[in-house]
Amino acid sequence: MSQELLQEFRSAYANLELFPLLNQKEMERFKVEYQEDTIDELQQLVEDDPESDGKIVFTGHRGCGKSTLLAGLRQKLEKDYFVVFFSIADAIEMSAVNHVNILMAIAINLMSEAEAKKVSINPTIKKGVENWFTSRTRVIEKNAQGEVEVGFDIFSVLKAKLKTDATVRDEIKKEFERKISDLVAQINLIAAEIQGTIKKPILVIIDDLDKLDLARVNEIYRDNIKALLLPNLSIIYTIPIAIIRDTFLQSLIDTETDGQRVVMPVVKIFSKGDSRLENAHPRAKAKTILCDILTKRIPPELIEPETIDKIVIQSGGVLREMIRIARECCRICLRNIRRNPTEKIIIDEKVFIQAINKLRNDFTISLGKVELEILQTTYQDFIPDDPKQQEFLDLLHGLFVLEYRNYDTWYDIHPILVETLKNKGLIG
Tell me: pLDDT of 144 over 60.
Answer: no
Question: Any residues with CB less than 8 A from the CB of 253 and at least 6 apart, and which?
Answer: 57, 221, 225, 239, 244, 261
pLDDT at 141: 54
pLDDT at 152: 56
At 315-351, the pLDDT tens digits run 999 999 999 999 999 999 999 999 988 888 999 999 9
- Give the Cα separation of 87 and 77 in Å (integer): 18
Mean pLDDT for all residues in the chain? 90
At 351-393, the pLDDT tens digits run 999 999 999 999 999 999 999 999 999 999 999 999 989 999 9
- Give the Cα separation of 198 and 70 in Å (integer): 23
At 75-101, the pLDDT tens digits run 999 999 999 999 999 999 888 899 999
At 199-247, the pLDDT tens digits run 999 999 999 998 888 888 888 988 899 999 999 999 999 999 888 888 8
Higher-scoring residue by pLDDT: 11, 35: 11
- Give the Cα separation of 317 and 405 in Å (integer): 12
Higher-scoring residue by pLDDT: 425, 138: 425
The residue type of 252 is L
Instruction: State percent of the chain over pLDDT 90.
Output: 65
- Give the Cα separation of 380 and 393 in Å (integer): 18
Question: Any residues with CB less than 8 A from the CB of 406 and at least 6 apart, and which?
Answer: 268, 271, 272
pLDDT band per the 50, 70, 90 thresholds, residue 140:
low
pLDDT band per the 50, 70, 90 thresholds, residue 147:
very low
pLDDT band per the 50, 70, 90 thresholds, residue 303:
very high
Tell me: pLDDT of 279 over 90.
Answer: no
Angle, in degrees to the nearest 10, between helices 305-314 and 284-295:
110
Tell me: pLDDT of 151 over 50.
Answer: no
By mean pLDDT, which of 62-66, 269-273, 286-290, 413-417 is the weakest? 62-66
Q: What is the mean pLDDT of residues 152-181?
A: 87
| Beta bridge pairs of residue 264 | 60
Tell me: pLDDT of 138 over 90.
Answer: no
For residues 221-259, one letter each, b for 16 or more C-beta atoms within 10 angstroms of the residue's C-beta and e for the rest, the string is: beebbebbbbbbbbbbbbbbbbbbbbeebeeebeebbee
pLDDT at 145: 44
Q: For the chain, which domains are there?
A: 1-17+267-365 (1.10.8), 36-264 (3.40.50), 369-422 (no CATH)
Q: What is the mean pLDDT of residues 139-147?
A: 50
pLDDT at 327: 96
Number of neighbours of residue 335 by Cβ within 10 angstroms: 12
pLDDT at 31: 78
At 18-77, the pLDDT tens digits run 777 677 777 778 778 878 899 999 999 999 999 999 999 999 988 888 998 999 999 999
